[in-house]
Structure 1
Amino acid sequence: MVAAAAAPRAGSDAGVKRTHARVALSAVAEETAVAPFAGFRRWWEERRAEDASRVDRIPFAELRSWSFTEGTGDLVHDSGRFFQVRGAEVHRPEGPVSQWSQPLLHQPEVGILGLLAKEFDGVLHFLMQAKTEPGNRPGLQLSPTVQATLSNYSGVHGGRAVPYVEHFLHRNARRVLVDVRQSEQGSWFFRKRNRNMVVEVAGDVEVREGFRWMPLGQLHRLLAEGTGTDGTDSSVVNMDTRSILSCLPFPFDGVPRAEPSGDLLGWLTEARSRERVRVERVPLAGLPEWRREPDRIAHRNGSFFSIVAVRVRAGEREVTEWTQPLLRPHGVGVSAFLTKSVDGARHVLANLRVEPGNVDVLEIGPTVQCTPENFAHLPAAAGPPLLGKVLDAPRERLLFDTVLAEEGGRFQHARSRYLVVEADDDPYEPPGHRWVPVAELLGLMRHSHYVNVEARTLLACLQSVCVPEPGRPGEGGGR
């Protein structure tokens, strides 16, 4: 009797190639027997109709279990867990602004963002959750199977257990396709990280209420559904899902990922060594230019963001009612990649982003990443280079253009316009920018603190428009 050949390990070269082919096949699957798209639409409308969540702004005095500490005025939870709002003073001698002060969200815990994957009829499907977040409107979005901080899944809140978390805490007997710690918004969080995971299961998995198996092709189709002109969030795929999907070995131009070149790593290392950034903890009370009012902490000129408080009622969550602070941005952000094909390989124009919350000084970000309203009072030349180029790009060069909601657990009504723009023949490459093969970016994303969350969302958007042609799962083509 001849034993069957063992499946290649997920992290081996053969395992990566096999995963590459399976991801490609899932990316072209918009209809499967297990997950018909019309069935998703019905399920989604039912979930939205049943969503009775409610979020109300409240003054800080009505926060429960949150308070401003004596002396520093930091806003903290009574348990000392979850997150804190602290003051920070930032020094960047080489930057366009050499010093400033601001609030930052401190959340030292590493949370889990995890997708369960399973093959049905030879096609990878992912177990998605319809989840309400207090900062989005309406709050329901497609979230990962597990989206939880350590405080949540360890039960600090005293609520129900987080479904499926055991698959990501005890992973030895399962096939791990993705496992990497990634950063989140470095302008608002101080050194925030989440563990992005995709874990494949072979046996039966109970599909709980509010969960659904979906192929990658459906998620790509839904990515283009963004925010309405009235500001109501209709974006379906949430930020955490986008971050995980971007980490998959996706077959751009037939290459799932490549080891970053010495030239690329040298560019990063030199820039990190050159930048002198110092972030000092200072009291939230008395921050220069910031004012605390009964219902907000805001900059004196109304720019950037405010810290506000909300009361949340959400019947499907582990805890059904609570209060908390949220960071509320002022204005809609813009994050954009210029992209082009170089010798048959997809490239993007990357920008080195220095942000106060970064663990290691800077990370690779989009070509353009800003909130235009923050530059409205400045001369046009003071704005980000290439902002006009991406905003004024002709329609025929727009590969992707959608306003998407950002993370809703800590931010209120945070939205960004995400654009992927086919570059023209203009050779202009501003300082701090560089054309990078997408395959090398994916190689960098096997490691922490190299590619920021806005760039990862854009890579997920690029996946949705550069999927393989049906029937050719080993090649990166386009719809």
Structure 2
Amino acid sequence: MRTRNVEDVQLDFLVSALSHGSFMRTQDILFWIKQQNESVVSKIHQIPISELKGWNYSDERIRHNSGKFFSIDGIRIKTNYRDIPKWDQPIINQPEIGFLGFVAKKFNGVMHFLIQAKIEPGNLNIVQLSPTLQATRSNYTRVHGGDSPNYLEYFNGEKNVMVLIDQLQSEQGARFLHKRNRNIIVEVDENEDIPVKTNFMWVSLGQIKELLSFDNIVNMDSRTVISCIKFGSYSEHSLKLMSSVKNMAGIESEKPDSFLYSVLSETNHINDLQDIIHWITSLKFKYDLEVTPIGISEMQHWAYDGITVSHENGKYFDVIGVRVEIGNREVISWDQPMIRSAQEGLIAFIVKKINGIFHFLVQAKLESGNFDVVELAPTVQCLTGNYRKGNNEYTIPYLEQVLNAPKENIWYSSYQSEEGGRFFQEQNLNIIVEVGDEFPIEVDENYCWMTLNQMLSFVTYNNYLNIAARSLISKISFY
């Protein structure tokens, strides 16, 4: 595997983010997804956990007979973060690192990404757009006895490719125990011929971001990979020139330069990068996170009845069993446990113009499965939906500013799914809300103002931005 100049790669990403693509319009892509839905047979229904083929309840946990894939374990949490010092919960234990990867190639000088129409058992709308390769280690080593994933050879060293991005990023900290995946983008030469299989197509980065305006079209794995993309840092003079070129080229958007400046500007931030590093390091030092494995039957306020693992008050989530038949997968039928959320959730960033540039209000959030105590999260992150009924065990700062935001202050709003391989029909409202002078610059100690340029600097490193934050900033669009 080879690499090339970082500045050139970032410029190529920026050009792709401004492009409408060379092959198919957005509306045509939506129609193509509809066709994929109609052409593939899929049957997914809930069954009791005790009837899952290939799985067993032993050692007080639910695990696969092979010892691979993942298990559902019980854990006990002790922490000094917020108001709840102790709780028990089930969690997905999947220590292996999987691939989430795009193959990229230039067409007409514009970088395109090979995207896949993929069915996961938990997808709300069956087919969603996923990366070129989306595979756990157990899958690509063929523990299931099925075929190898398509295009694996571009990521495992068999093909001589250019590596543009290669990072380990965390998964959902409230549901996975210390889970990370390899987020990778590789590029092939323009003259290399890659066969495009039936459920794959080439799209520009701009088109992926445009499709994120629609509910539940681009899956979580695609969102986390493209969130790792940096577009470079530029001076004020360069940004004004870029804005002029955009206008002359007829590239328009609802917020034409707000994202552009916050993503690309290297100046005007209220907090220096070193100050932000000191802030999050001090919070990692301040908060304790003690995780103790326990048996499922030992979990307080949770019960397993052979059908589901559920909370006594019907809150948070259940663990359920599903039986799956999907016609175009490496293995066409299987059983597995899944997480089913009690309600839809809310993921939101508050943005405010400070020093002439938009800053995002970032939260340092502790979750039970975090690899390193706290990670940078959106301003508001409520995955259970309890906030709608007032059933929270603790107050949620800045929730009212999001829920009561005037329509004209909402930059972005859509429902986006959680990862459909482990989460059953779960979606969260993703929203970005602008606030004005009435909103104070001084904020709670667990919060910090950052530009998008600074946030993307942290994405470069492992275990800083959580998957909810990465999902939301993946929408960053320049038209």
Judge same fold: TM > 0.5, yes or no. yes
Q: Cα offset for 1:237? A: 0.3
Going from structure 1 to structure 2, the CA distance change for 1:204 and 1:135 (only over 3 Å counts) comes to same
Q: Which residue of 1 aligns with 2:37?
A: 48
- Is residue 277 of structure 1 aligned with residue 286 of structure 2? no
Match of 1:177 among 138, 143, 164: 164
Q: Retained in 2: the 8 A contact 1:141–1:237?
A: yes
Identity %: 35
Q: Cα offset for 1:139? A: 1.7
TM-score, normalisation: structure 1: 0.88
Going from structure 1 to structure 2, the CA distance change for 1:338 and 1:142 (only over 3 Å counts) comes to same
Q: Which residue of 2 aligns with 1:453?
A: 467
Q: Cα offset for 1:39? A: 4.1
Going from structure 1 to structure 2, the CA distance change for 1:208 and 1:338 (only over 3 Å counts) comes to same
2:15 aligned partner, one-letter code: L
The farther-off stretch of 254-263 and 158-167 is: 254-263
Q: Which residue of 2 aligns with 1:29?
A: 19
- Is residue 412 of structure 1 aligned with residue 399 of structure 2? no
- Is residue 123 of structure 1 aligned with residue 110 of structure 2? yes
Q: Cα offset for 1:20? A: 2.3
Match of 1:88 among 37, 59, 75: 75
Match of 2:404 among 388, 392, 401: 392
Q: Aligned partners of 2:136, 2:360: CA distance in 1, in Å?
A: 32
Q: Aligned partners of 2:150, 2:137: CA distance in 1, in Å?
A: 14
Match of 2:222 among 224, 238, 241: 241
Q: Aligned partners of 1:195, 1:254: CA distance in 2, in Å?
A: 27
Match of 1:207 among 193, 196, 215: 196
Deviations 1:312-356 (A, max 9, x none): 000100000000000101111101011133334442100001011
Q: Cα offset for 1:258? A: 6.7
The farther-off stretch of 147-156 and 48-57 is: 48-57
The farther-off stretch of 388-397 and 248-257 is: 248-257
Q: Retained in 1: the 8 A contact 2:129–2:219?
A: yes
Deviations 1:363-394 (A, max 9, x none): 00000001464346657894301111011111
2:448 aligned partner, one-letter code: R
Q: Aligned partners of 1:444, 1:324: CA distance in 2, in Å?
A: 35
Q: Which residue of 1 aligns with 2:62?
A: 75
Q: Cα offset for 1:93? A: 2.8
Q: Cα offset for 1:257? A: 8.6
Q: Aligned partners of 1:380, 1:90: CA distance in 2, in Å?
A: 18
**Structure 2: which 5+ residue stretches go unaligned?**
233-259
1:390 aligned partner, one-letter code: V
Q: Retained in 2: the 8 A contact 1:298–1:307?
A: yes
Q: Retained in 1: the 8 A contact 2:413–2:430?
A: yes
Q: Aligned partners of 1:395, 1:42: CA distance in 2, in Å?
A: 29
Q: Which residue of 2 aligns with 1:230?
A: none
Q: Aligned partners of 1:379, 1:108: CA distance in 2, in Å?
A: 33
**Structure 1: which 5+ residue stretches go unaligned?**
1-7, 227-234, 468-478
1:253 aligned partner, one-letter code: Y
SS of the aligned residue for 2:225 comes to helix
Deviations 1:133-158 (A, max 9, x none): 00112321000000000000000000
SS of the aligned residue for 1:189 comes to coil
Match of 2:88 among 85, 89, 101: 101
Deviations 1:406-444 (A, max 9, x none): 100001011100001112221052230110121111111
In the alignment of these two chains, the number of paired residues is 443
Q: Which residue of 2 aligns with 1:431?
A: 445
Q: Retained in 2: the 8 A contact 1:338–1:423?
A: yes
Alignment root-mean-square deviation, CA:
2.0
- Which 4+ stretches in 1 moved above 6 angstroms? 257-260
Q: Aligned partners of 1:56, 1:384: CA distance in 2, in Å?
A: 35
2:463 aligned partner, one-letter code: H
Q: Which residue of 1 aligns with 2:248?
A: none
Going from structure 1 to structure 2, the CA distance change for 1:137 and 1:379 (only over 3 Å counts) comes to closer
Q: Aligned partners of 1:137, 1:306: CA distance in 2, in Å?
A: 17
- Is residue 17 of structure 1 aligned with residue 7 of structure 2? yes
SS of the aligned residue for 1:357 comes to coil
1:14-413 → structure 2 map (5 Å cutoff) = 15-32=5-22, 34-69=23-58, 72-170=59-157, 173-202=160-189, 203-226=192-215, 235-250=216-231, 252-253=260-261, 256=264, 261-371=273-383, 373-375=385-387, 382-413=394-425
SS of the aligned residue for 1:285 comes to helix
Q: Aligned partners of 1:380, 1:45: CA distance in 2, in Å?
A: 38
SS of the aligned residue for 1:250 comes to coil
Q: Aligned partners of 2:224, 2:147: CA distance in 1, in Å?
A: 26
Going from structure 1 to structure 2, the CA distance change for 1:341 and 1:154 (only over 3 Å counts) comes to same
Q: Retained in 2: the 8 A contact 1:305–1:329?
A: yes
Q: Retained in 1: the 8 A contact 2:153–2:159?
A: no
SS of the aligned residue for 2:145 comes to coil
Going from structure 1 to structure 2, the CA distance change for 1:211 and 1:278 (only over 3 Å counts) comes to same
Q: Cα offset for 1:94? A: 4.0
TM-score, normalisation: structure 2: 0.88
Q: Aligned partners of 1:193, 1:257: CA distance in 2, in Å?
A: 30
Q: Aligned partners of 1:392, 1:185: CA distance in 2, in Å?
A: 27
Match of 1:422 among 434, 439, 443: 434
